[in-house]
């Protein structure tokens, strides 16, 4: 691997810039989601572990109606597809109650891969959807015979952990930076309800690594 491949991502951004919050995309994202750990408790309220959930929420009043419909839907259909052939980006399509959301995400990050693994282990996908004003409403998608393609897509994303070393760079803001890039290839993302899924745990990890690197550099210079 040459130096150009090491220091730049495939879109020309410096890897060091991955720890910086990107500028707002040209096409405004009215919906965003993030992957967060949810603690699991026993009958006595004691934490026994945690699982990942995708927290989806509207960020503007204009998008609130669609998100509210999804949050209050009796059942949801979820599909997970690649944004483009051989892409490390995917689209999470959530449909229900006459509306649809399309969330762009980076499937080759540790938090999404861990999320995929937790889904496969529990045989379910956990979504929590919240209107602009309100509480998160949980939805459980069973990975049964009716969701074979979804389970296969999650298994493909989960393989990233097995194929990568812990030192692999984390593209924590990739989905935000490249939202407009993929909008040109995927018309569905330009519809109302298009947004991005931010891998929050990877963001924290990358920022911590950047902070530790700066601290080490200061100590070495002292």
DSSP line for 153-210: HHHHHHHHHHHS-TTS---TTHHHHTHHHHHTT-GGGGSTTEEEEE-HHHHHHHHHHH
Average pLDDT over residues 195-220: 76
Residue 53 banded pLDDT, cuts 50, 70, 90: very high
Per-residue pLDDT for 216 more than 90?
A: no
Neighbours of 126 (CB within 10 A): 18
pLDDT of residue 43: 74
Over residues 96-153, the pLDDT tens digits come to: 999 999 998 888 888 899 899 999 999 999 999 998 888 999 999 999 989 999 999 9
3-state SS, residue 11: coil
**Cα–Cα distance between 154 and 1 in angstroms, integer?**
28
- Could you give the residue ranges of the DSSP H alpha helices within 37-191? 61-71, 110-122, 148-163, 174-177, 179-183
**Are the CB atoms for 197 and 35 separated by under 8 Å?**
yes
Secondary structure letter of residue 113 according to DSSP: H
Q: How many CB atoms lie within 10 A of CB 188?
A: 14
pLDDT value of position 4: 41
pLDDT tens for each residue of 162-197 = 887 766 666 677 777 777 777 777 877 777 778 888
């Amino acid at each position: 691997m040459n130096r150009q491949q090491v220091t730049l991502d495939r879109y020309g951004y410096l890897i060091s810039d991955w720890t910086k919050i990107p500028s707002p995309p040209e096409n405004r994202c009215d919906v965003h989601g993030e992957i967060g750990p949810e603690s699991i408790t026993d009958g006595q309220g004691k934490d026994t572990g945690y699982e990942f959930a995708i927290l989806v929420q509207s960020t503007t009043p204009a998008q609130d109606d669609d998100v509210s419909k999804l949050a209050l839907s009796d059942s949801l259909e979820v599909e997970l597809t690649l944004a483009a052939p051989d892409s490390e980006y995917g689209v999470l399509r959530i449909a229900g109650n006459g509306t649809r959301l399309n969330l762009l995400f980076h499937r080759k990050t540790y938090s999404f891969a861990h999320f995929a693994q937790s889904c496969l282990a529990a045989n379910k996908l956990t979504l929590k959807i919240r209107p602009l004003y309100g509480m998160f409403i949980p939805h459980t998608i069973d990975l049964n015979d009716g969701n074979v393609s979804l389970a296969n897509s999650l298994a493909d994303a989960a393989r990233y952990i097995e194929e990568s070393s812990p030192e692999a760079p984390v593209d924590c803001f990739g989905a935000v930076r490249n939202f407009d890039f993929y909008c040109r290839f995927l018309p569905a993302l330009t519809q109302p309800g298009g947004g991005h899924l931010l891998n929050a745990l990877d963001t924290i990890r990358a920022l911590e690594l950047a902070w530790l690197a700066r601290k080490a550099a200061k100590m070495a210079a002292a």
